[in-house]
Chain A
Amino acid sequence: MSATTQNLTQARTQPFLKLSWLHLKYQFLETVRIPIAVLGNVLFPSLSMFFFVVPQTAVAGNPLFATTAVASLALFAVCSASLFTYGLGVAEDRQLPFYPFLRSLPAGPGPQMVARVLNGGIFSLFGVLPLIIIGWLFTEATVTPGQLLGGIGTILAASVPFVLLGMAIGYALSAKAALPVVQIILFPLAFAGGLFLPPQMFPGWLDAISMATPTRAGRDLLVQATTGAEAYALALPVLAGWTLLFIVLAIVAYRNDEGRRFR
């Protein structure tokens, strides 16, 4: 072996895309082999749909309201799946003895994060699909094929900041701390973002706060994509701004993480 002549120019990691694909495959297999985790993501939003939307004829019977409700719940499904899977999932992963091994493989944080984001997107779709079917069968919600595709694309894009936020929490906190933090963040964000109650019912001050949240921005963009109702002008910049912030937080948290905490 030419160990001594191993010069420094040779040291290069595998291409970013190849590593991302490798990690995506690995993470997908790991997630999908524990079916209850997948089922939870699929069932929770569907049940909410049956409890909160389908019985309310005023909403379910109105195409615009029903589509908006499906969109809002779908976004909630995505937010909750992302924050829980990543906030809690990453925190739990870090406590596994395999995790330090993963970190010492010749790959930077990038591919692992890209894979997590994509994996989050895939499982979000698993959760959203039954919602679309329920909306279609049991309410007056209606979309054109173009709107449906636009909606799916938008929801995937809207899931990115939440996956990143989840990762930042997961890398920064222990699993025990991550759980309450995720809950504390998720429900106010979902409420303020109009995922439970339409923001049209909000007083002016709350509506102003609402428009600054990533949930509201994502919701309105999603509603725009599926119903054509214009989102507010700042929705896109707000969502992009949060995404940038969460990228930075996730990277900082990853870099500061040194495996298990020792006290």
Chain B
Amino acid sequence: MSAVTVSAVEVSGVTRRFGDVVALDDVTLEVGHGELVGMLGPNGAGKSTLLSLVSGQRRPDAGVVRLAGRDPRDARARTVLGLTPQETGLPATLRVREVVDFVGGHYPDPVPTDELLEQFGLADLGKRQTGSLSGGQKRRLAVAMSLVGRPSVVLLDEPTTGLDVSGRAALWDAIREYHAKGGTVLLTSHYLEEVQALAERVVVIDHGKVLADDSLETVLSRVGARRVQLTDATGTRQEHLVPDSDAFVRDLVASGVEFRDLEIRGASLEEAFGQLVNHESTEGAVR
């Protein structure tokens, strides 16, 4: 097989229904090796379904899913894949070390358990049953489990949900470190902030369709609007949403109006996301 650059993840023309509900509607998405892609979308948008197809848990009704060029339903294709279980999904009676050993045993060259536990600050917890861990410890274990097999592609489903700020920062570091070594990451998150902090590329999904798929800056700039705040002569705080903040300020200064505390801010990903998703009908929020 000529090893011409095969994408890490390739999804083309994929449709998946659950009964009457179309979870994914003709979705096409390609993730190259070494990319860090963040997937955003409201609950029920189709993110988890997409991940379950890429990890070979489900098959698409139509279209093709490839993981490093192979069908992920074939166990051999998944030797390059790491993923996190959902937080509530750890086998409660097993000990931390046993779970890591078990997952690592599936891969040809697993990270030694001690080293991995050390890296994720779990070294003291090796003998604890997973059911007794705190939410943050479970999350760290979940991400550790995704990396134990030295995978080249990692799927992270809500990796830091329920974590405090320092816990989240520690996991972000681990994800960045993995990515810096050439690993491919596809992550979903409820936290726009998380995607903004980690991802180079953002995919917005709603109603089973890809609404936007571009670099972080492009998605942000697509919103166009800048937020300009100032306090006028009467002391009232004004806020303007303008398409071109430079022109706005030039005009403002030229007009000679008195103002102070000028503040200009680009739209956050949150605003970009809100604008993209809200263009669609509001029923998305209900699902």
A residues whose Cβ falls under 8 Å from a Cβ of B:
1-14, 18-19, 22, 25-26, 29-30, 33-34, 96-101, 103-108, 258-259, 262-263
Contacts and interface: CB of A to CB of B under 8 A. Distances in A.
Contacts of A104: 55-57, 72, 78, 81, 83
A1 B85 contact: no
B146 to A, nearest CB: 9
A6 B81 CA distance: 12
The 8 lowest CB-CB distance pairs between A and B, nearest first, are A97-B89, A1-B182, A262-B18, A101-B85, A33-B93, A104-B55, A98-B89, A106-B78
B18 A26 contact: no
A101 B85 CA distance: 5
21 contacts: A4-B3, A6-B152, A8-B69, A11-B76, A14-B105, A18-B105, A22-B102, A22-B105, A25-B102, A29-B98, A30-B93, A97-B85, A100-B52, A100-B89, A103-B56, A104-B81, A105-B78, A105-B106, A106-B75, A106-B79, A258-B59
Nearest to A97: B89
A194 B84 CA distance: 49
Counting chain B CB atoms within 10 Å of each CB, the highest count among A10, A34, A96 belongs to A96
Contacts of A10: 79
A10 to B, nearest CB: 8
B interface residue count range (under 10 / 10 to 19 / 20 to 34 / 35 or more): 35 or more
B94 A106 contact: no
Counting chain A CB atoms within 10 Å of each CB, the highest count among B1, B57, B103, B129 belongs to B57
Given A3-B152, A103-B56, A8 B70 contact: yes
Contacts of A97: 85-86, 88-89
A262 B24 CA distance: 14
Contacts, number: 121
B70 A106 contact: no
Contacts of B76: 11-13, 106
Contacts of B149: 106
Given A107-B75, A262-B21, A1 B52 contact: no
Nearest to A4: B33
A258 B80 contact: no
Nearest to B77: A11
